[in-house]
Amino acid sequence: MDHPQADDAALPSEGVVQPAVVPPPPKFVTGSIMRHVIVMTSTGSIGLTAVFAVDLINLWYISHLGDTVATAAVGYGSTILFVTTSICIGIMISAGALCSRALGARDRPLARRYGASILMWMLLVTGAVAVLTFPLIGWMLRLLGAHGRTLDLSTLYLEITMPTVVPLGVGIGLSGVLRAVGDAKRAMYVTLSGAAVAAILDPIFILWLGLGVEGAAIVIVFSRMALALLGWYGAVRVHDLVGRLSLKRALEDAGPIAAIAGPAVLANLATPVANGYMTAILAPFGDGAVAGNAVMGRLIAFCFGGIFSLSGVVGPIFGQNYGAGRLDRVHRTLSDAFLFTTIYAVVVWAALALCHHLVIRAFNITDPQAAQLIEFFCLFVAGSWAFHGLLFVANASFNNLGFPLASTVFNWGKATLGTIPFAMLGAKLWGAEGALTGQGLGAVLFGVIGVWWAYRSIGQLKLPGTSRAS
């Protein structure tokens, strides 16, 4: 039996004149765009970095066991977990886009309905991912190049952590709802909770209890449960932006949700697929190369967290201003976000280049090949992340302004045409360092084209409710 629609506004009693209530303007429709970009990206990057920091903290403690095989095993496992995280982030993008548009149009009941429907779809999709991928864990790891003891340890790691994609999705999805309303700080706290749990429990389970890779996996379970609980508190109890969960309404809302989440998920999957390819292409160079790549992967996620967060946190700024009909502010958001991500990436690159020896010592890297690969990345390849960032901003505009297919095309183009031939040729000519160089050059190419296409797309926008220019 269907419950009454809790999201519907109450009808005024007959004959009673209700005073007009004018809701306050949405947060991002007024004030400095650059300030909104900085605040949302900085808090969002801290929050999303906290999600990846769980892997970083795990890897840091694992590396101090002095076992290159264990480090490589976590690297293989994290490559696959990154796929599930990317699916969750893709669905979260739809939460930020749809809820922010509704709030921008001052339709809070619609925002609450979208919040509930997106959460329901997050549960359905992540549950299906956990069930379908669990029996394929061994096959996926062997496909990446894992074998022997490395395969055994990475299989154990994933068998424990794969089911946690469900609470991870709930936490990330609800943080997207919080960003849609402009509560960047509370959204940051949601994901910080997972990192805090990992920081407390990792030394206990990995070192003191001596559980190693198994302990790292157990900690992920606890950290993702914390993520879900705090996200539910903020989005439901504090802001009341999630209506009654209903499978019927979720199915009715599948169209607008899938229109954004589908292409966003496909676009986000391109990055872990490219990472998986890079893991496979480095595997023949030995466990040292894979271990070095694992450290680089965690460094990228941690140090360039602001870039990863852009597609989710800048989206509500686009969405609210587009929903309010402020196309001038939409254009300014794109330019300010491009400027911010470029400065951010260059500063991080400089820091990594200056501190590369410290990074190698911090992760207790004793394998010469791993150390050489990390040094090469910090000095040279990290600079290509400025162009990754430009493409992430472009994708945020595509996803939130009605061009989601462009996001999918560009991300998969970078993951395939911008990665495979470049990395393959580089590996053949200059080994593992050449593979990293090739991947970086592909990112430069697609970043530049993405910037041009984003400005071209925004030039085609019309006010909501009117037809778009052809």
3-state SS, 54-71, equals: HHHHHHHHHHCCCCHHHH
* Confidence (pLDDT) at 312: 63
Contact criterion met (CB below 8 Å) for 288 and 369: yes
Cα–Cα nearest to 447, from 351, 355, 310: 310
Residues in CB range of 53: below 8 A, 6 or more apart? 195, 198, 302
Contact criterion met (CB below 8 Å) for 85 and 130: no
Cβ neighbours, 10 Å, residue 350? 12
Q: d(Cα 372, Cα 378) in Å, to the nearest integer?
A: 10
* Confidence (pLDDT) at 463: 66
Contact criterion met (CB below 8 Å) for 434 and 280: no
Contact criterion met (CB below 8 Å) for 415 and 268: no
Apex CA 312: angle with CA 311 and CA 317, to 5°? 95
Instruction: Output the pTM of the full model.
Output: 0.68
Q: d(Cα 307, Cα 97) in Å, to the nearest integer?
A: 18
pLDDT tens per residue, range 74-83: 888 888 888 8
* Confidence (pLDDT) at 299: 84
* Confidence (pLDDT) at 6: 41
* Confidence (pLDDT) at 255: 87
* Confidence (pLDDT) at 47: 63
Taking 50 as the pLDDT cut, the residues of the chain under it are: 1-20, 467-470
Rounded to a whole number, what is the distance in angstroms from the first to the last CA of the chain?
46
